[in-house]
Structure 1
Amino acid sequence: MSDSESTVSEAVQLFAQLEWVDLTHSLEEGIPSVPSHARYGHTLYQSYDRGDPACHYRISMGEHTGTHVDAPLHFISDGAAHYDIASVPIHRLVGRAVTIDVTDVGPGETVSREHIEEWEAEHVPIEPGDRVLFQFGWDRYWSADDDANEFLSDWPGLAADAAAYLTESDVRLVGCDTAAIDAAGAEEFPAHYELLGNETYIIENLTNLEKLPPESLLFTFPLKIEEGSGSPIRAVALVD
């Protein structure tokens, strides 16, 4: 057996020993969508009941529908960081993730740099190349019921100094279980500009973060959309 075959075999055996945690919301009509974004639609095109030989649907949605990743193009209009989701190096979206419990942050409030540093002192340090996930617990409000949706009301987010700390730490990606990494009502989008401007990608609308330990192995695969500002993803974490 060659060295490469041995490495692949070891990886397969390791993956079989780990638990797979799905961090992705299901796509269905009625799920939350910020007012400026397209809503999700699911239309039947072929049906066995109508005598068709197959079944298939047309889906319509925005690039930032459901659990999704933001490309720099989403907020950065020029410069080295101005590129689309198809140009994001896929290896930067896979790797060690640190999950920080910030459920003590209230509606409309923000996580500060000090908050992150205190968590690191009690758990594990954030290392260059990491992905950092923030568990606000906001996914408990996710609903496909248009008339009972609290998800888009007064969600918390990341403060400007916290976003700057993460880019200084050279993290690759920042994720959250809220509608956006900036808190609701933020008009200047400091976290978006700081992170995307430094090629730190953003994942929003995650779920099940409470099932993750402080360290996990994260996989987040976007669609390869030319000139895309983002893409829905299937986000999965591997844990012991």
Structure 2
Amino acid sequence: MPEAARPIWDISPPVHAGSPVFPGDTPYSQTWGATIGPGCPVNVSAITLSPHVGAHADAPLHYDADGAPVGALALAPFLGPCRVIHAIGCGALIAWQHIAHAIDTRPAALPPRVLVRTCARMPVDRWDDALTAYAPETVERLADLGVLLIGIDTASIDPASSKQLPSHQVIRRRGLRVLENLVLDDVPEGDYELIALPLKLTTADASPVRAVLRALS
């Protein structure tokens, strides 16, 4: 199939003043510094937001005081073949049993990027304090299989109430990258090309991404 004809799934939630954020985090807001009118040919706005609003990539700096900022990260993990796995209604944590049906443990059989859908419909309009997260043991096993990036359709790979962030500490130790707040509602299980590049924010702990999936053929 010609590249231009390959179907694309936009897996980024809308970002606006009503976008949910972690309680206490900075929501999206926008002001206008200039508007089109007599003597002004353009609209120019200023935006304020946490880099964790909407679909985003966490940097090691988010969970490691000495970690790299998002602008220093290599882009390769955020671009390339990935597998979408459904674990809808799996409960508080994604255990290995919830994704094993879609995991091939033969060498190089699993793409180096794994996105897990846990929501029947991702709550794009509200904060979900009971969000589903990854069990740290699941992240360890994915890393053992060569996975470089994990993603999820909730706001965090750890429970919202967690203070130790065990799954974040696994990705810190194993050198994985992470995408959160993806919208996988309309994406069938299977393999795709992921494109979700973070901005080159040289001192930030995360970055918004425009995450998309493209059919492989």
Q: Secondary structure at the match of 1:48?
A: coil
**In the TM superposition, what is the alpha-carbon distance from 1:38 to its structure 2 partner?**
1.2
* Structure (1/2) with the larger helix percentage: 1
Greater mean deviation of Cα atoms: 154-163 or 184-193: 184-193
- Measured in 1, the distance between the counterparts of 2:111 and 2:78 equals 10
TM-score by length of 2: 0.90
Contact 1:167 1:194 in 2 (8 A): no
Question: Quick one: distance in 2 between partners of 1:98 and 1:188?
Answer: 28
Q: How high is the sequence identity, in percent, across the aligned residues?
A: 25
Q: Superposed, which structure 2 residues align to 1:88-237 within 5 Å?
A: 88-106=73-91, 109-120=92-103, 127=109, 130-137=112-119, 139-143=121-125, 149=126, 151-237=127-213
**Helix, strand or coil at the partner of 2:196:** strand
Counterpart secondary structure, 2:32: strand
Check conservation: 1:124, 1:214, Cα contact below 8 A: no
1:127–1:76 CA distance, 2 compared to 1 (3 A): farther
Give the letter aligned to residue 164 of structure 1: E
What are the ranges of 5 or more consecutive residues in structure 1 without an aligned counterpart? 1-12, 144-148
Distance 2:106 2:37 in 1: 55
Change in CA separation of 1:207 and 1:51 when aligned onto 2, cut-off 3 Å: farther
The one-character-per-residue Cα deviations of 1:89-138 (angstroms, maximum 9, x if unpaired) are 112210111111010313xx1111233323326x9997466110010126
Give me the CA root mean square deviation. 2.3
Partner Cα separation in structure 1 for residue 187 and residue 77 of structure 2: 23
- Runs (4+) of structure 1 moved beyond 3 Å? 123-129
Partner of residue 87, structure 1: 72
Q: How many residues get paired?
A: 216
CA apart distance, 1:49 = 5.1
CA 55–77 in structure 1, closer or farther in 2 if over 3 Å, else same = same
1:47 aligns with 2:35: yes
Kindly indicate whether residue 57 of structure 2 is the aligned counterpart of residue 63 of structure 1.
no
Structure number with bigger Rg = 1
- Unaligned segments of structure 2, at least 5 residues: none
